[in-house]
Chain A
Amino acid sequence: MTDVKQFDETLIPSPFLAEYRGSFLANEGRTLDAVLRITLELAAELWAAKERSRMLEQQLIKAGVIAEDAIELSHVTPCTGAARRRRTEYVDTIFRHLLLQDVDDPLSVVSPEDIRTPMHGHFAEKVSRD
């Protein structure tokens, strides 16, 4: 059990969590070694998943279920609407910890502002060539 008295800065109650969240990375040198080990393990597992996926695609083509380039010619760009929201939630679920926040609010995961870039204004009219 973490002694929360050591972490005064974390004493902000979360509306969703029963416990306070503490800082557990005091010994950063060893921690980074461990994070790198985890990264290598994840990369190895990801490679296995990629190879299995590739093999599955080959078998589907061989069995005549899908055309030769059916997957390769599919597009995920542009990422809009539901796909963009799905991507935003995926990234946020994994990387939200980088916000280094004491409160982990699930409802903050996806905001309407994520849907389009804050760099652009609202175009007065649709000007796409398409």
Chain B
Amino acid sequence: MDRGKIGTMDAASSFDDEAYLDFVEGMRVFALTRLAPVMRKRAAATLASDSSTDPYVDNLPAVQNVLDSMPIVGVRNHLYRNVQEMAWRRAVLTRERDGARLRQELAEADTRGSSTLTLNPDLKMPHYYDSMDVHIQPGSYHRYDLAGFVYHYGSNVFHLGENYGDDLQSQIAKTIPAPGDGIVKRVLDIGCTLGRTTVSLRERFQDAEVHGIDLSAAALRYAHRRASSLGSEVHFSQQAAESMNYPDNHFDLILSYILFHEVPVEVGRQVIDEAHRVLRPGGLFVIVDFPSGNPPATTPEGLVGEYERAFDARLNGEPYSFGMVRSDLNEYLTRTFSKTTIDDKPFEALRGARLRVGEK
């Protein structure tokens, strides 16, 4: 049943599905705001009870050996994983209940609307991408035709019920810097998935041609349908950020929002090179993503943080995030671009992220 929209998100297909996912969201609120702080405190106390943390530094297996056996850690891990599984499973089921309508709408939207969609059926999915399910979403972003619908709902649960509209994406688009000369004719959003930041960039740069690229055809079809329904004029294209088909010096501004922690470090470097190639001199490459260049933690609290990051890598479909926060991303960006700004403070709109800007 078409139950309308919640923000810019399609509502669940039944009242029961919506209520179920509402409960799951509540469980995630509990896991993040009640359980995790208690777990962190006790886990850090356990590590601190040793005479020295030296044996744990840069030795994740040793930390895991201690913390995995703690009951409170087990409960935390169970809830984080199981809540995620519950959210995806029900999100898939609720979309399938109305699958015929959603598939028909996607098909009708593919060639119509205010936005454009260019898919490349011959694009070979990179192994790093195709070999896993991102965030353990069943079928990942690209092996299930309704993945865009599923991801939007799942991400709302993940963001504790505050991602059904585009407030976050709009805030990011509004607060990132623009080229100093004020010229913004072409904007590119790489790894755009559902095209939410793409649409928000178009709202900010209303005279610019705004493009969004992603590997997933399913995500782009959803992005295109969504953007068109909002009356936004943007252009979606199925491409890999590390190998784009745009000419040199083409864009004035490129945004990468939470892409780098989803790709291996070496691919991240290729993305930086490629962004540099397609930016015009004076153009900006803006990265909003996890911090990087983090040295191995030495405090009990830092070690617990690394343990949690590694849990996400191991059991929550983010296998590259641990490498990314340790990586030389900032250094590589600085070497590649003529001028770089790295802000190590939490990014205002998304506290876990940092803002990096490279000027060509």
- Most chain A CB atoms below 10 A, which of B30, B38, B346: B30
CB pair B6–A75 under 8 Å, yes or no, is: yes
CB pair B35–A76 under 8 Å, yes or no, is: no
CB pair B160–A119 under 8 Å, yes or no, is: yes
Identity of the chain A residue whose Cβ is nearest the Cβ of B13 in the assembled complex: A72
CB pair B168–A75 under 8 Å, yes or no, is: no
Q: How near does chain B come to A87, taking the closest CB pair, in angstroms?
A: 4
Whether B105 sits at the interface, judged by CB under 8 Å, is no
CB pair B34–A96 under 8 Å, yes or no, is: yes
Q: How near does chain B come to A101, taking the closest CB pair, in angstroms?
A: 7
CB pair B174–A127 under 8 Å, yes or no, is: yes
Whether B8 sits at the interface, judged by CB under 8 Å, is yes
Q: How far is the CA of A69 from the CA of B156 in the complex (A)?
A: 25
What does DSSP make chain A's interface, helix, strand, loop or mixed? loop
Whether B223 sits at the interface, judged by CB under 8 Å, is no
Q: How far is the CA of A91 from the CA of B23 in the complex (A)?
A: 8
**Inter-chain contacts of B175 with A (CB < 8 A):** 124
List A residues 74-94 near B (Cβ within 8 Å). 74-80, 84, 87-88, 90-92
- Most chain B CB atoms below 10 A, which of A74, A98, A118: A98
CB pair A121–B346 under 8 Å, yes or no, is: yes
**Inter-chain contacts of A127 with B (CB < 8 A):** 166-167, 170-171, 174
Binds A, one of B14-22, B287-295, B326-334: B14-22
**Inter-chain contacts of A121 with B (CB < 8 A):** 346-351
Identity of the chain A residue whose Cβ is nearest the Cβ of B32 in the assembled complex: A118
Q: How far is the CA of A130 from the CA of B346 in the complex (A)?
A: 27
Q: How near does chain A come to B46, taking the closest CB pair, in angstroms?
A: 13
CB pair A76–B18 under 8 Å, yes or no, is: yes
CB pair B26–A79 under 8 Å, yes or no, is: yes
CB pair A129–B23 under 8 Å, yes or no, is: no
Whether A71 sits at the interface, judged by CB under 8 Å, is yes
Q: How far is the CA of A127 from the CA of B29 in the complex (A)?
A: 24
**Inter-chain contacts of B8 with A (CB < 8 A):** 129
Q: How near does chain A come to B31, taking the closest CB pair, in angstroms?
A: 9
CB contact under 8 A between A73 and B349, given known A114-B29, A119-B159, A124-B175:
no
Whether A99 sits at the interface, judged by CB under 8 Å, is yes
- Most chain B CB atoms below 10 A, which of A69, A79, A84: A79
Q: How near does chain A come to B167, taking the closest CB pair, in angstroms?
A: 5
Q: How far is the CA of A101 from the CA of B349 in the complex (A)?
A: 34
Whether B86 sits at the interface, judged by CB under 8 Å, is no
What is the 8 Å Cβ interface bit string for chain B, positions 305-347, against chain A (1 contact, 0 not)?
Answer: 0000000000000000000000000000000000000000011
List B residues 150-169 near A (Cβ within 8 Å). 156, 159-162, 164-168
**Inter-chain contacts of B32 with A (CB < 8 A):** 117-118
Q: How far is the CA of A121 from the CA of B165 in the complex (A)?
A: 16
Which A-B residue pairs are the 7 nearest by beta carbons?
A117-B160, A127-B170, A87-B26, A121-B348, A91-B26, A91-B30, A76-B22
What would 13 A/B residue contacts be, using CB atoms closer than 8 Å?
A71-B15, A73-B15, A77-B12, A78-B6, A87-B22, A95-B27, A119-B160, A121-B350, A122-B348, A123-B167, A124-B348, A127-B167, A129-B230
